[in-house]
Structure 1
Amino acid sequence: MKVSLVVPCFNEADNLPRLFQEIDAVIAAASLDAEIILIDDGSADRSRELLVERAQQDARYKAVIFRRNYGQTAAMAAGIDHASGDVIIPLDADLQNDPADVPRLLVQIEAGFDVVSGWRKDRKDRWLSRRLPSVLANWLISRVGGVRIHDYGCTLKAYRKSVLDHVRLYGEMHRFIPILAAWAGGKVTEIVVNHRPRTAGTSKYGIGRTFKVLLDLLTVKLLGSYATKPSYFFGFVGMALVALGVVCGLAVVGIKLGDVDWQHTFSLGLLGAFLMLVGMQSVMMGLLAELQVRTYHESQSKPIYLVKETVGLDVAGTPVSLPPHRRVS
């Protein structure tokens, strides 16, 4: 079983030498058939030079260099696109994920699971800005997605390549892969993994990222429940608003017929008309979305990142959706 380690990297030059040492030690100790896909996400430090140098020195390492910063999800998508292993394991380049946990993840894959999620039970991050938002977000994601795991935000996970073949990543969608896999019939589990404090570099995460995750969660829910029938969702909302508008209208009629002196009658009638108008617009949006479903699915070949160069990778092995890029041998 071949393993592809995917390492997104953004301004982590101080951590990379030790990371390479730890990965090499784990591969040797566990006798893994492994490749390491390194993605430079537009770093401004020496990360790119270190990644290229490593890929040129060790054939197990492959480097993908982005033209600019596209974000962690795009970097992870590039690693998945270029991976040739049967199992794909992403891990952060900041040394907070422990490569020594990789063999433990593989044990669960060999036991028959399709996704093995790492759980940073003893997380070494600030409580207010990192851990508390994470706890709340993970609870909400578990409730909405229906897959009960503790730590969606942990990068260290193991995926069978087959469950990723039809997953299209964008936004912050990489953290929802366990949900997408479960919806497709995959088996998901989690194990406790080691989490270490950051010793070099600066964190790229903040509380603002939580709001982006929540918006992507809404997208996942809508796509999961209404991807092929968007008119159901918009139609339900629209009809509910129209019904409320009708109720307001009937209330106004009743007030007039009963000769009731109520100073807000005009406002109530205006609200009813507004609700009916918005409701009908929602229904029309649903019908338009229904017509766009085919276009939506056919447009998924559009790339979410542009590659500047690759090192140690065959151009023929890259996705057909990617634009031409330079290969460094």
Structure 2
Amino acid sequence: MPEAPQLSVVIPVYNEQDNLEPLLAELAPVLDGLGRPWEVLFVNDASTDASAQVLARLAAAEPRVRVITHRINSGESAGQASGFRAARGELVLTMDADLQNDPADIPRYLAALRADLDCVCGYRAERQEGWLRRFASRTANRFRAAITGDRLRDAGCTYRLIRRRALVEIPVFNGMHRFLPTLIKAQGGRVAEIPINDRPRQFGVSKYGINNRLWRGLADCFGVRWYQRRALRVDRVSED
């Protein structure tokens, strides 16, 4: 029986069959080098390719790998939420399955998570995407900052390290993953950012375009602004 994990890595998966084995092969040695027990939770969001079969092989070969399966395709926010609910570690790392997030950055996340912080977010200093996607991201970030007041450098980057205690009362909705640091701040949490390495996609295709990345995110800003005004602090209970 594997040792109880201190770090849970949550990875939503949708049609990433060619990326999964290389990802775990790169990720596992980095996690082993941290000197703390870990688990990886792959959340298969009703993939229609061979992702389910690949994940079954990975879990059979590595007892620290767990697979969560969605009956219906529900999106990245649902994938993260399912992973958060199943995570056993006190620290939760979220990353993508497309190999664009570099596992070598993980020790830097842990070093940056000071005792007074609840979340460390990555920002892609040199993004490996076309000009149209970069333009859409800049536009969304500026609009988001104007509406929510949260001036994250790269709100679209979902490579983050979070204390599990900060996730207990996070509202779950379609689009939550884009606003997770903002929601944590609204509940009284503290968030920091670090620059990370962004790599080009090698296999498969992106699941996001202008319609589901830009316009939906802009509309969600107004709902998040409402939540910021109504949110309760998670540290409201005295420990005495």
Q: Check whether TM > 0.5.
A: yes
Q: 1:138 aligns with which of 137, 141, 164?
A: 141
In 1: Cα distance, 2:111 partner to 2:142 partner: 27
1:14 aligned residue (15, 18, 23): 18
Provide the secondary structure at the position in 1 that maps to 2:33. helix
- Following superposition, the deviation at residue 83 of structure 1 comes to 0.3
Deviations 1:185-232 (A, max 9, x none): 11111000000000010111100011111121111112222579xxxx
Could you tell me whether the CA contact under 8 Å between 1:6 and 1:36 is conserved in 2? yes
**1:186-197 residue pairs with structure 2 within 5 A?**
186-197=189-200
Q: Give 2:139's aligned amino acid.
A: L
Match of 2:215 among 211, 217, 226: 211
Q: Deviations over 1:21-78 (max 9, x none)?
A: 0111211222232110001011111101111221122111110011121111001100
Deviations along 1:211-265, one digit per CA (max 9) or x if unpaired, are 111121111112222579xxxxxxxxxxxxxxxxxxxxxxxxxxxxxxxxxxxxx
Which is greater in Rg? Answer: 1
1:230-249 superposed matches below 5 A = none
Which of 74, 82, 92 aligns to 1:70? It is: 74
Match of 1:104 among 105, 108, 120: 108
Distance in structure 1 (CA, Å) of the matches to 2:163 and 2:205: 31
Contact in 1 for aligned 2:187/2:231 (Cα 8 Å): no
- CA shift at 1:100, angstroms? 1.1
Aligned to 1:305: none
Count of matched residue positions in the alignment of Structure 1 and Structure 2: 227
Shift of 1:183: 1.6
Tell me the equivalent position of 1:90: 94
Partners of 2:21 and 2:58 within 8 A in 1: no
Distance in 2, matches of 1:227 and 1:119, equals 26
Query: How does the TM-score come out when normalised to structure 1?
Result: 0.66
| Residues 1:55 and 2:59 aligned together | yes
Q: Which structure 1 residue ranges, 4+ long, deviate > 4 Å from structure 2?
A: none
* Contact map agreement 2:186 2:231 (CA 8 A) in 1: no
For CA contacts below 8 A with separation 6 or more, give which structure has more relative contact order: 2
Structure in which a larger fraction of residues adopt helix? 1
Q: Which amino acid aligns with 2:14?
A: F
- Could you say if the C-alpha distance between residues 109 and 208 of structure 1 is closer, same or farther in structure 2, counting changes exceeding 3 Å? same
Question: Aligned partners of 2:148 and 2:111: how far apart in 1?
Answer: 26
**Distance in 2, Cα, partners of 1:66 & 1:225:** 33
Q: Aligned-pair RMSD on alpha carbons?
A: 1.5
In 2, the alpha carbon distance for the partners of 1:18 and 1:227 equals 40
Contact preservation (8 Å) 1:3, 1:86: yes
Indicate the SS of the match to 1:191: strand
Give the C-alpha shift of residue 12 in structure 1: 0.4
Measured in 2, the distance between the counterparts of 1:139 and 1:161 equals 29
Tell me, yes or no, if the aligned pair for 1:40 and 1:65 is still in contact at 8 Å.
yes
3-state secondary structure, aligned to 1:30? coil
Q: In 1, Cα distance between the equivalents of 2:90 and 2:52?
A: 27
**Who is 1:183 aligned against?**
186
The counterpart of 1:33, out of the listed 33, 37, 45, is 37
Taking the aligned partners of 1:139 and 1:33, their CA distance within structure 2 comes to 39
Distance in 2 (CA, whole Å) between partners of 1:34 and 1:141 is 34
Query: Given that residues 109 and 160 in structure 1 are in contact (C-alpha distance below 8 angstroms), is that contact kept between their aligned partners in structure 2?
Result: no
| CA distance in structure 2 between the partners assigned to 1:68 and 1:142 by the alignment | 33
| Percent of pairs with identical residues | 38
